[in-house]
Amino acid sequence: MDISPYRQRRLLLGQRIQQAGGGIAVIPTAPEQVRNRDAHFPYRADSYFQYLTGFNEPEAVLLLAVPAEGEAQAILFCREKNLEREIWDGFRFGPEAARETFGFDAAHPIDAFDARLAELLADQPALWFSLGHDAAWDARITAALNAVRGQTRAGKRAPARICDVRGELDALRLVKDDSELALMRRAASISATAQCRALRFTRPGRYEYEVEAELLHEFRRQGCEAPAYTPIVAGGANACVLHYVANDQLLRDGDLLLIDAAGEFSGYAADITRTFPVNGRFSGAQADVYQLVLEAQLAAIAAVKPGAGFLAPHEAALHVLAQGLIDLELLAGSVAGVLESESYKRFYMHRTSHWIGKDVHDAGEYRQGEQWTLLAPGMTLTIEPGCYIRPAADVPQALWNIGVRIEDDVRVTANGCEVLTDGVPKTIAEIEALMGTGR
Ligand code: CA
């Protein structure tokens, strides 16, 4: 395992905290979650913790002691070796091996954390912590602060400031380093293969969950630990339900199928949506709406470049969609009027992009003060315009229940962007050709 990216991120976080006056940063991993009775959900480490450590066991905390000058010390607290528990639940590093393997300055048993934190917090200028994220951790941190305050007569002082460490971490996570990009490319290419597999498998008479099974099979077969989010496999009218996850309906001849699904590889997400005809051939009305969304998506991708605001791709997509909705006689008036009144929101009610990385909706600010965050090389975001047409008296009947979204993940480069998820086709001709070879 290459630990240098994790060391580098701890170093950068330490520098940022030092510039803000130093102190003690506490970054716990996520707790295990009960699914029902004594069965747990598959464990997933906290993204911030994982980003800084590469350590995936539960019951662990990273403590970063940042002096006013000099290098920060990284201390891990984790579960001790325990042969009996390891027989039942599997391998544990234990503090000593964890320190060596992951390159921490020190490591201690998790049971020693509360007492040690109270010692280390004494006379520190600030505590850096994600207050409000987890009630149990908030209580633990409060207890440690009060333990220090209890020693004021002994001359100890509790930190005067509590700062949200997520602010500094989000700024770091917004720009992906090379090792992150390598994992994101892998997540993207596996997810693209899975989408192609689902495309070839789809035909009238199959159920949405059968298509979902093809996706899950391909994610896991290629080493993804899990889907990056609950797959949406939405045939016909279901595509107009934005967060449809029941995936239990029959796929019908003449309907479209919208699939929003991707895998998580080594803690990094992809996020891909494709929409295609269940029977392999777009009808005229479906092709009209599909081509419009595709052109909006291509315009949005073309708007991704360094120095553009986060909202630039959305605005580019909106211009194309507004004209298209007028051409399809779904909306009346001018493009400027449609944009001004936001009447397009009846058919396109979500944003075109979100950050993507360790979390599918990744860390990072969308605004800096009054201004939208400016895109910079190494940032990664989705581009996902759509059009969702529900039945209504004022809507041409041929367009009823057509729901289309096309979503790719892009990385901002020095002069534009790289599409990470281009392994799955999206032109009408390519989709029809791929579906034709599958049956
Ligand atoms: Ca998505």
The CA 360 to ligand 1 mean position distance, Å, reads 8
158 with 200, same domain?
no
329 with 369, same domain?
yes
Instruction: Centre a 10 Å sphere on the Cβ of residue 88 and count the other Cβ atoms it contains.
Output: 7
Tokens representing residue 439 in the block: 């049956």
**For 249-265, what is each residue's pLDDT tens digit?**
999 999 999 999 999 99
Last residue of a domain, one of 124, 146, 173: 173
365 with 382, same domain?
yes
> For 254-341, where are the alpha helices, taking DSSP H only?
284-302, 312-327, 335-341
Quick one: pLDDT at residue 436? 86
**CATH number of the domain bearing residue 383:** 3.90.230.10
Rounded CA separation 436/281 (Å): 9
Q: In the chain, how many domains are there?
A: 2
**Using 50, 70 and 90 to split pLDDT, how confident is the model at 1?**
confident
Question: At residue 437, does pLDDT exceed 80?
Answer: no
Quick one: pLDDT at residue 439? 56
65 with 144, same domain?
yes
The CA 382 to ligand 1 mean position distance, Å, reads 8
The CA 304 to ligand 1 mean position distance, Å, reads 18
The CA 130 to ligand 1 mean position distance, Å, reads 27
Question: At residue 163, does pLDDT exceed 90?
Answer: yes
Q: Are strands 73-78 and 61-66 parallel, antiparallel or unpaired?
A: antiparallel
236 with 384, same domain?
yes
323 with 205, same domain?
yes
185 with 148, same domain?
no
220 with 114, same domain?
no
- Mean pLDDT across 302-321: 98
Quick one: pLDDT at residue 328? 97
Question: At residue 291, does pLDDT exceed 90?
Answer: yes
> For 303-396, where are the alpha helices, taking DSSP H only?
312-327, 335-341
Quick one: pLDDT at residue 323? 98
Mean pLDDT value across the chain: 97
Last residue of a domain, one of 173, 196, 218: 173
396 with 414, same domain?
yes
Q: Is 332 helix (H, G, I), strand (E, B) or coil?
A: coil
**CATH number of the domain bearing residue 42:** 3.40.350.10
- Mean pLDDT across 394-422: 97
The CA 407 to ligand 1 mean position distance, Å, reads 7
Q: In what order do the strands lie in the sheet with 232-235?
A: 232-235, 256-260, 273-277
Quick one: pLDDT at residue 212? 98
The residues carrying an active-site annotation are: 38, 243, 260, 271, 350, 354, 361, 384, 388, 405, 407
356 with 392, same domain?
yes
- Mean pLDDT across 298-305: 98
Question: At residue 102, does pLDDT exceed 80?
Answer: yes
- Mean pLDDT across 325-354: 98
**For 107-149, what is each residue's pLDDT tens digit?**
999 999 999 999 999 999 999 999 999 999 999 999 999 999 9
The CA 180 to ligand 1 mean position distance, Å, reads 20
> For 45-129, where are the alpha helices, taking DSSP H only?
47-53, 83-89, 94-102, 113-121
Question: At residue 438, does pLDDT exceed 60?
Answer: no
Tokens representing residue 81 in the block: 């070796």
- Mean pLDDT across 235-243: 96
Question: At residue 204, does pLDDT exceed 70?
Answer: yes
**For 170-203, what is each residue's pLDDT tens digit?**
999 999 999 999 999 999 999 999 999 999 999 9
The CA 368 to ligand 1 mean position distance, Å, reads 25
- Mean pLDDT across 30-45: 96
Question: At residue 309, does pLDDT exceed 80?
Answer: yes
402 with 327, same domain?
yes
- Letter for the amino acid at 99? R
Question: At residue 21, does pLDDT exceed 60?
Answer: yes
Angle among Cα 86, 89, 93 to the nearest 5 degrees reads 50
Range of the domain at 71: 4-173
The CA 229 to ligand 1 mean position distance, Å, reads 8
Tokens representing residue 158 in the block: 């509790």
Last residue of a domain, one of 173, 194, 226: 173
Could you tell me the sign of the dihedral formed by the alpha carbons of 49, 53, 56, 59, in that order?
negative
Nearest to 176 by CA among 22, 339, 380, 28: 380
284 with 392, same domain?
yes
The CA 275 to ligand 1 mean position distance, Å, reads 12
The CA 262 to ligand 1 mean position distance, Å, reads 8
